[in-house]
Amino acid sequence: MGQDQIIAMSIEGRFTPAEHPGRETRPHHCTYHNAQPSHAMSIATTNISGCSRKSHLRSHMTQPNDPTQPSQITVAQIQQLIRERYYASDHDRGTGGTFLYFAEEVGELATALAANNRRRSPPTPAERANLEEEFADVIAWLCTLANINDVDLTKALTKYTDRDRVTGVKD
């Protein structure tokens, strides 16, 4: 897939979910909801009426008996969840196309952080929820990149558990 195809995919392959009017979200393959393909492209994409990776993650991060209380989830569990749900379509898209989605999510996180830093009052519950969603999206797409490049994030993160291995501070 060439760079122009990837850019076209990221622009033309969007939909606006009913639950977030005015906010564009990329389509994705979703075996969990038995979604149907929304259009023909060089990769399989799906319009699933507002379903997103974060909704899947949320469903796996809550206790079955109390859906308002998040449970603890490990890096390995989140990476495996992303692998189980999206590996086939993510692998077909490749690192280049997936990295564009990751970069888009980093940009959305930057926008949310900047908005929170400009205001003088605490964020509203909706603004706080948006910030949390953007952090989750960045982590989910980072897991996707790790999966399609055969990187075990838990193993990679162990460098931060050894004081002698990580030194220095970035200014």
State the CATH number of the domain containing residue 138: 1.10.287.1080
Predicted local confidence at residue 71, as pLDDT: 73
What 3-state class would DSSP assign to 68? Answer: strand
Q: Summarize pLDDT for 66-117 with one digit per residue, the tens.
A: 545 567 899 999 999 999 999 999 999 999 999 999 999 999 999 999 998 8
Domain contains 146 = yes
Number of domains comprising the chain: 1
Greatest Cα pair distance in the chain: 52
50 touches 17 (CB < 8 A): yes
What 3-state class would DSSP assign to 48? Answer: coil
* Domain region containing 125: 3-12+52-159
Domain contains 168 = no
Which tokens sit at 110?
């930057």
Q: Summarize pLDDT for 14-30 with one digit per residue, the tens.
A: 333 444 444 444 443 33
Question: Going by C-beta distance under 8 Å and a sequence separation of 6 or more, which residues neighbour residue 30?
Answer: 46, 48, 51, 56, 85
